[in-house]
């Protein structure tokens, strides 16, 4: 049976891919987005409702109009460096906005909530394959704000009965292979699209932030997951909740980490063009390594990352970057 799902941030990178997959699964995604960082042209799979997360009256209106069965919450600021420079912005937007959304969802009687969290809630835990039992100790305001929303979901659920799934995911990459939507931020901060922009001459060079980390080549290591694999887990999480599943937290990663230099080399191999790079200083708030050690999503949700190889993610992103009309 198709559900109506309110998708906050549905005009953004991950949210738009989630809307496509929800529609393909027979659901109706209703995008709620301020379009401050999202793109109206990415809303192709269901209705768009423009609004800010902190506008309770607007949220109440949207809940009353569409009567969603569930909420899928992606809307958030997510730049680690910015969160270090302006932590108040992250607490106001990510935490304050989520609280207003939870108030509106609870008042509307919504019983299922799927939340986009992050592995940044774990902080710096070098040498640890991270699973859901690891202590959360974020080292930046972005990770702190996401952990706070996880706490709110738990506490709201105790009071209202709303059940939730929180996905702590690692670095998201790739794009819709059908090239209807893809990754495009303003400003761009993600490694693979930055490298592709450098290959295309849209920027002079890619900056490597830090070459003295305690890793084999001195650069940060991250676990990358394809955006389509990621949003498939969200749809599975929705089905899990709608079928009576209890509140749960899941890591979403592949269990394999790649350094910044390894990603850059892979981009060069896929595009057959060397990536021009310059070396810069470390960025405050960046961890040395973040790699998932969890199998819980596979065991509980039956989730398997099918497209999350580095060549596939880069190839899909490269296809999107070469689309007519792509602008950086």
Q: Which residues are catalytic?
A: 142
- Cα(150)–Cα(217) distance, rounded to whole angstroms? 34
Q: Tell me the DSSP string of 100-137.
A: HHHHHHHHTT--EEEEEEEGGGS---TT--B-TTSPP-
The structure tokens 């569930």 sit at: 70
DSSP letter, residue 326 = -
- Cα(215)–Cα(202) distance, rounded to whole angstroms? 30
In three-state form (DSSP H/G/I as H, E/B as E, the rest C), the secondary structure along 256-295 is: CEEEHHHHHHHHHHHHCCCCCEEEECCCCCCCCEECECCC
Find the length of the chain.
328
DSSP letter, residue 220 = -
Angle (deg, nearest 10), helices 13-24 and 227-242? 60
| Residue of 207, 163, 173, 178 whose CA lies nearest to 193 | 173
Are 7 and 19 within 8 A, CB to CB? yes
Q: What are phi and psi of 284, to 5 degrees?
A: -60, 140
Are 259 and 215 within 8 A, CB to CB? yes
């Amino acid at each position: 049976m198709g559900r109506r799902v309110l998708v906050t941030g549905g005009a953004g990178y991950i949210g738009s891919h989630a809307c496509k997959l929800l529609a393909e699964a027979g659901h109706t995604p209703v995008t709620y987005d301020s379009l401050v960082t999202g793109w109206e042209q990415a809303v192709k799979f269901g209705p768009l409702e423009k609004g800010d997360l902190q506008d309770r009256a607007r949220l109440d209106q949207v809940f009353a109009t569409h009567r969603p069965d569930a909420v899928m919450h992606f809307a958030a600021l997510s730049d680690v460096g910015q969160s270090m420079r302006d932590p108040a912005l992250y607490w106001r937007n990510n935490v304050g906005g989520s609280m207003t959304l939870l108030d509106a969802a609870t008042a509307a009687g919504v019983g299922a909530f799927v939340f986009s969290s992050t592995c940044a809630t774990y902080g710096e835990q070098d040498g640890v394959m991270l699973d859901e039992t690891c202590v959360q100790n974020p080292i930046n305001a972005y990770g702190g704000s996401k952990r706070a929303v996880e706490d709110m979901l738990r506490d709201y659920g105790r009071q209202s009965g709303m059940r939730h799934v929180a996905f702590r995911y690692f670095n998201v990459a790739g794009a819709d292979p059908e090239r209807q939507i893809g990754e495009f931020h303003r400003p761009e901060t993600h490694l693979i699209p930055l490298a592709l922009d450098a290959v295309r001459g849209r920027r002079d060079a890619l900056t490597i932030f830090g070459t003295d980390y305690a890793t084999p080549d001195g650069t940060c290591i991250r676990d990358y997951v394809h955006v389509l694999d990621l949003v498939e887990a969200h749809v599975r999480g929705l089905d899990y909740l709608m079928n009576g599943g209890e509140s749960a937290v899941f890591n979403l990663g592949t269990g394999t980490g790649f350094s910044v230099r390894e990603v850059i080399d892979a981009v060069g191999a896929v595009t057959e063009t060397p990536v021009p790079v310059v070396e810069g200083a470390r960025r405050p708030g960046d961890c040395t390594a973040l790699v998932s050690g969890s199998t819980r999503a596979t065991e509980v949700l039956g989730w398997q990352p099918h497209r999350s190889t580095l060549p596939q993610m880069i190839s899909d992103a490269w296809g999107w970057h070469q689309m007519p009309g792509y602008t950086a």
